[in-house]
Amino acid sequence: MSGRDDLAEDISQFEHVRRKHVGRYVSGAVIAALAAWVVMAFAHGGIEWAFVGRYLTVHSIVAGLGNTVLMTALAMLLGVSIGVTVAIMRLSANPVINWAAAAYVWFFRGTPVLLQLLLWFNLALVFPTLGIPGLVELPTVEVMTPFLAALLGLGINQGAYTSEVVRAGLLSVDKGQYEAAKAIGMPRLQALRRIILPQAMRVIVPPIGNELIGMVKLTSLASVIQFPEIVYSAENIYYANNRVIELLIVAGIWYVVVVTVLSALQARIERYFARGAGVSDAITRTGN
């Protein structure tokens, strides 16, 4: 409009007026209205909120929560251990090892985890006894408790997904790093552990954090094989008192709490593994 005036006039002392973010106000209003509507609907619906508060901390719910958290941690630990091992196997020069790792990923990614849980839990139908021939032999029904079946089902399935994440991470590290590690005399596995894996973590941690959060909720599937995690506990209570929605809300609240804590933790872990990479700052600080 006044381009020529600007050039003629000294405008360096003028006040700067920021853009009005109209979009932010409009979207804010729309979302606030929607939220209010949802809150109203729940407040007026047939939910006994007093019940929710009372059952939030009853013993069997808290014990179920403990089992959910424990199973999440153990299954994830198993999944990550398997995942790292299988990822390294897939990058091995040995074709047999390579093939075995690929077959594992193929099978466990190819079938639903619910089906795998049921298979582990019903292993007795295939193998009535488990053990080392001639040394120990135990009836499978006693060994394959809901706990063990849930751990194996969730952990081994997770390992198949995690191995792909880890493999992508290992491949993301510059080949020069591997050569530099070799040049100072490191054998392959030491180079992987000391040099490649720590750098791959920057790429690996965000999706693993995501999968950890997924695992918190995936453990609820173990309720179908009678593992007493939080959904199973909630179900047991509402079978007796018919407060179905209230108890599902109780379980839901606890899931949200756990996931919120984990999300906060994830941010700190990501920052740790990004050290020396100089990328996270550049990406997260472009907040305008």
Partner 1 sequence: MNPIVKSVGLRKSYGAFEALKGIDLEIERGEVLCIVGPSGSGKSTFLRCINQLEAVDGGALWVNGELVGYRRTGHKLFELSEREIARQRLATGMVFQRFNLFPHKTALDNVIEGPVQVLKLERKKAELEAHELLARVGLSDKCGAYPIALSGGQQQRVAIARALAMKPALMLFDEPTSALDPELVGEVLSVMRDLARTGMTMIVVTHELGFAREVANRVLFMDQGLVVESGSPEQVLGRPTQARTRDFISAVLS
Q: Which residues bind partner 1 (CB under 8 A)?
A: 174, 176-177, 179-188, 190, 194-195, 198-199, 275-278
Mapping DSSP to helix (H, G, I), strand (E, B) and coil, where does residue 226 land?
coil
Amino acid found at 176: G
Kindly state the tokens that stand for 179.
Answer: 């050569």
- CA distance linking residue 74 with residue 171, whole number of Å: 27
Residues 6 or more apart whose CB falls under 8 angstroms from that of 236 comprise 60
Closer residue to partner 1 (CB): 71 or 84: 84
Mapping DSSP to helix (H, G, I), strand (E, B) and coil, where does residue 88 land?
helix
Least distance in angstroms from the C-beta of 209 to partner 1: 19
- CA distance linking residue 231 with residue 65, whole number of Å: 9
Kindly state the tokens that stand for 85.
Answer: 């091992």
Least distance in angstroms from the C-beta of 111 to partner 1: 36
According to DSSP, the β-strands at 136-139 and 129-132 are antiparallel
Closer residue to partner 1 (CB): 104 or 273: 273
Closer residue to partner 1 (CB): 17 or 96: 96
Least distance in angstroms from the C-beta of 159 to partner 1: 25
Spatial CA neighbour of 192 closest among 57, 85, 32, 61: 85
Mapping DSSP to helix (H, G, I), strand (E, B) and coil, where does residue 20 land?
coil
Least distance in angstroms from the C-beta of 199 to partner 1: 6
Closer residue to partner 1 (CB): 133 or 278: 278
Closer residue to partner 1 (CB): 51 or 178: 178
Identify each DSSP E strand in the chain by its residue range: 129-132, 136-139
Least distance in angstroms from the C-beta of 270 to partner 1: 14
Least distance in angstroms from the C-beta of 172 to partner 1: 13
